[in-house]
Structure 1
Amino acid sequence: MSRLARLFAHLKEKREGALVGFVTAGDPTPDMSLHILRAMAEAGVDIIELGVPFSDPTADGPVIQRSSARALAHGMTLEKTLDLCRAMRRETDVPLVVFSYYNPILAMGGTRFYEESVRAGADAVLVVDLPPEESQELVGQWSGNQLDFIRLAAPTTPTDRMAAIARDASGFIYLVSMTGVTGSAGLDLSEVAATAARLKQVTSLPVCVGFGISQPEHVSAVCRAADGAVVGSAFERLIEENLTAGDLPERMARYARTLKAATRL
C-alpha cells in the first residue's frame, strides 16, 4: 500500500479530512523553504504539494506567480525541488507531491524524472497541463509504479469525462473548486459538494478539493463533502506578507494548525 493510501485509510478511521498544503519550492529562499516545510509537517499538514517554480504558471493566480518568480530568482529548478523532497523524506513520513507544469519534466526526461523522484522519496506527481490523452508520453517512460499520478477534474468536467480521468489516476483526484486560477475568490461550497458527489459516483479514489480555500470554515465544509482540502495561495500569501520575518516558519505552523483542526469531522 502506498504512503498516500495508508494516510487516507488512517484519516478515514479517525473521521478526519486531509489537509493538503501547497508551497512553491525555494520560496522565499531555498534555506527558508526547508524550514517552512518542516514547520508545516510538524503542525499537522497531512500532504505537502511542493510546487516546481515555472516561468509561465498559467493555472496560477498572482500570488503563486510571484512565488515562482522569487524562487526562480534564487536559482530553484526541478532538480533542486527534488533535493528538498529528499531532505524532507529524511525527517518525515508526510506524503510529498511534486506539483509541476510539464515543461520542466520534459526537459529532464520522463525516465530520469521518475527515477529521481522515487529516489528523492516523492510519492506522487501532479502535472497541471498534461491531460490524460497526452500523458502516456510521460508515464510510458516510467520503469515502475512507485509514483502516483494525480489527475485533475473541474466543475465543468462532464461525468463521463470524470470517469475516464479517474481510470488513469492514482493517489487521489484533485477537484478544482471553480473555473479560474488559483487564489480566485467566490468559492461556492454548495457547488463544490455537488461536484464532489458527482465525482465520487465514478471513482473510489479519495477526492481533494482546491482553489479558493483559505479559511477554517472552508476546510470544514469541504471535508464534509470530500476527502481533503488543498490550501495553496493562502499559504503563499502568508509567505509573501512575511518575507523577512525570522519567525515565518512558526507563523506558517500556526496557520496550518488552525486549518488542520477544521478537518476533524
Structure 2
Amino acid sequence: MAGNVELLGSVLGRAKEENRAALVGYLPAGFPTVDAGVQAVIAMAEGGCDLVEVGLPHSDPVLDGPVIQTADDIALRGGVRIADVLRTVREAHAATGVPVLCMTYWNPVDRYGPERFAAELAEAGGAGCILPDLPIEESEVWRKAAEQHGLATVFVVAPSSRDERLARITAAGSGFVYAASLMGVTGTRESVGEQAQDLVRRTRATTALPVCVGLGVSNPEQAAEVAQFADGVIVGSAFVKRLLDAPDLEAGLAGVRTLAGELAEGVRRRT
C-alpha cells in the first residue's frame, strides 16, 4: 500500500518543481449529505486542489471555527458514520486521482480501533491521516499501524510550539507538517502573517518534510501571500462557506469548483 504515500510525496514534489505552493482543500464528510459531500470533494479536486482532506465530523471540534462546526453538526445530524468517511475518501480518490487524507480527532479512531482504521483507510485509497489532537508521546500505536499500511501521519504545529518541541513533532511525522496559525482573528493581518512565516522557518529548520499552512485563507490574494513562504496552502472554511451560503447543491458545487480554481491561480502567483 506504499503507493498512497508515494503519490502524496510526488504531488508535493511536483508543486515544488513548479516553483509554487500546493493547494490543499478541506471538507468534512457527510456535509451537506454523504452523497453531496462526495460530489463536493470531487469538485474541489477537479477545480484545482492538488490534494484534499476529508474531515471526520466530531461532536466537539475544539480546534475548528464556527463555520466548520456548523458543517460538522449538519453531518452528524444526518447520521454520518466512519464508513461514510471512508466511502468519501474512496470515491474522491477514484474519481480524481489526487491524494486524499483523512483529518480527524483521535477519539473516534481510538474507539474504532487504530489498526482497523488504518487498514480500511489504506484500502479506500487514503494517503494518510492528520491528527490535530494526538500527542506524539501517545502516538506509537497509530504510527506503527499507519506505517504498516502505507499511510502518512501528519502532525500539527503551532506558533506556540518551542523549537525543541517542533523537532520532536516533525521527527515523528511523515508526509508533510501542518502548520496552524490564525489570520484576521487577533492582531493585524500583517503581524499574523509574520507569525506564520516565522513558524514555517522554525519548522523547516527541524525537517525536510514539506510545511503546509492553514491560516484561514479565503481568497486568491491571501493564497498568493502564504504561498510565498509555505510549501502548501490549506483552505477549509472558505469551501464550507460556499456550500453553506449556496441556494442549492448545484450552485454550491459550482462555487466550490470556482473557488478552487481561483485559489489554484493564487498559489501560482508571486506577489
Shorter-normalised TM range: over 0.9
Q: TM-score, normalised by structure 2?
A: 0.92
Structure 2: which amino acid aligns with 1:237? K
CA contact (8 A) 1:154 1:178 kept: no
**Unmatched runs of 5 consecutive residues or more in structure 2:** none
Structure 1 Cα separation of the partners of residues 237 and 117 of structure 2 = 26
Question: Is 1:254 aligned to 2:258, yes or no?
Answer: yes
CA contact (8 A) 1:78 1:105 kept: no
Structure 2 Cα separation of the partners of residues 245 and 172 of structure 1 = 32
CA contact (8 A) 2:36 2:249 kept: no
User: For 1:93, which of 93, 97, 105 is the aligned residue?
Assistant: 97
Q: Note closer, same or farther for the CA distance 1:245–1:209 as it changes in structure 2 (3 Å cut).
A: same
User: For 1:167, which of 162, 165, 171 is the aligned residue?
Assistant: 171
Q: TM-score, normalised by structure 1?
A: 0.94
SS for the counterpart of 2:156 is strand
Q: Note closer, same or farther for the CA distance 1:217–1:199 as it changes in structure 2 (3 Å cut).
A: same
Q: Note closer, same or farther for the CA distance 1:41–1:224 as it changes in structure 2 (3 Å cut).
A: same
CA contact (8 A) 1:155 1:178 kept: no
Query: Which structure has more helix as a fraction of its residues?
Result: 2
User: For 2:28, which of 24, 34, 41 is the aligned residue?
Assistant: 24
The runs of at least 4 consecutive aligned structure 1 residues that moved more than 3 Å come to 140-143, 183-187
Partner of 2:180: 176
Structure 2: which amino acid aligns with 1:217? E
User: For 1:221, which of 225, 241, 246 is the aligned residue?
Assistant: 225
Q: Note closer, same or farther for the CA distance 1:196–1:143 as it changes in structure 2 (3 Å cut).
A: closer
CA contact (8 A) 2:146 2:153 kept: no
Structure 2 Cα separation of the partners of residues 146 and 20 of structure 1 = 20
CA contact (8 A) 1:155 1:177 kept: yes
Partner of 1:58: 62
With 86-95 and 123-132 compared, the bigger mean Cα shift is at 86-95
Question: Is 1:78 aligned to 2:82, yes or no?
Answer: yes
Question: Is 1:211 aligned to 2:215, yes or no?
Answer: yes
CA contact (8 A) 2:32 2:71 kept: yes
Deviations 1:154-203 (A, max 9, x none): 11111111111110110100001239xxx956542122112211111111
Q: CA offset at residue 40 of structure 1? A: 1.0
Q: Note closer, same or farther for the CA distance 1:65–1:95 as it changes in structure 2 (3 Å cut).
A: same
Deviations 1:83-121 (A, max 9, x none): 111112222211111000111111210110011011000
SS for the counterpart of 2:27 is strand
Partner of 2:38: 34
Q: CA offset at residue 23 of structure 1? A: 0.5
CA contact (8 A) 2:176 2:210 kept: yes
CA contact (8 A) 1:184 1:211 kept: no
SS for the counterpart of 1:50 is strand
Deviations 1:112-159 (A, max 9, x none): 001101100000101121010111132344571500000111111111
For the aligned residue pairs, the C-alpha RMSD in angstroms reads 1.7
With 133-142 and 147-156 compared, the bigger mean Cα shift is at 133-142
Question: Is 1:7 aligned to 2:29, yes or no?
Answer: no
Aligned length: 262
CA contact (8 A) 2:118 2:149 kept: no
Matches within 5 A, 1:134-145: 134-142=138-146, 144-145=148-149
Structure 2: which amino acid aligns with 1:76? V
Query: In percent, how many aligned pairs have the same letter?
Result: 34
CA contact (8 A) 1:28 1:243 kept: no
Question: Is 1:231 aligned to 2:245, yes or no?
Answer: no
SS for the counterpart of 2:250 is coil
SS for the counterpart of 2:121 is helix
CA contact (8 A) 1:63 1:236 kept: yes
Structure 2 Cα separation of the partners of residues 256 and 82 of structure 1 = 23
Partner of 1:194: 198
